[in-house]
């Protein structure tokens, strides 16, 4: 009889340990959520930066005329190869 009580007492975790584990799990989930958010925002920032670079290079090139010439040149290079 006492052996069963002893064994069942060993199976139970003390309350503070259980609370700490639950808190740790919550914190891990929070960290994972925040990391996902950071990754999402990082990708959005990279995309915005790329768009700004393209916009600046477009303005420097003089607009559509030069871009169309560039596209035409690329197509001619493909045909010639």
In a domain, 47, yes or no: yes
The overall pTM is greater than 0.85: no
In a domain, 33, yes or no: yes
In a domain, 3, yes or no: no
**What percentage of the chain reaches a pLDDT higher than 90?**
40
Q: How confident is the model at residue 3 (pLDDT cuts 50, 70, 90)?
A: confident
In a domain, 54, yes or no: yes
Per-residue confidence (pLDDT) for residue 17, from 0 to 100: 81
In a domain, 4, yes or no: no
In a domain, 28, yes or no: yes
Tell me the pLDDT tens digit for each residue of 21-59.
Answer: 999 999 999 999 999 999 999 999 999 999 999 888 877
Per-residue confidence (pLDDT) for residue 10, from 0 to 100: 66
Q: How far is Cα 69 from Cα 63, in angstroms, rounded to an integer?
A: 11
In a domain, 2, yes or no: no
Domains held by the chain: number: 1
State which residues form the domain around 47. 10-80
């Amino acid at each position: 009889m006492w052996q069963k009580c002893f064994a069942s007492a060993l199976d139970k975790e003390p309350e503070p340990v259980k609370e700490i584990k639950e808190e740790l799990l919550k914190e891990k989930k929070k960290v994972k959520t925040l990391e996902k958010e950071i990754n999402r925002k990082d990708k959005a920032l990279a995309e915005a930066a790329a768009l700004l670079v393209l916009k600046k290079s477009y303005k420097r090139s003089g607009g559509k005329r030069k871009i169309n010439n560039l596209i035409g040149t690329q197509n001619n290079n493909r045909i010639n190869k």
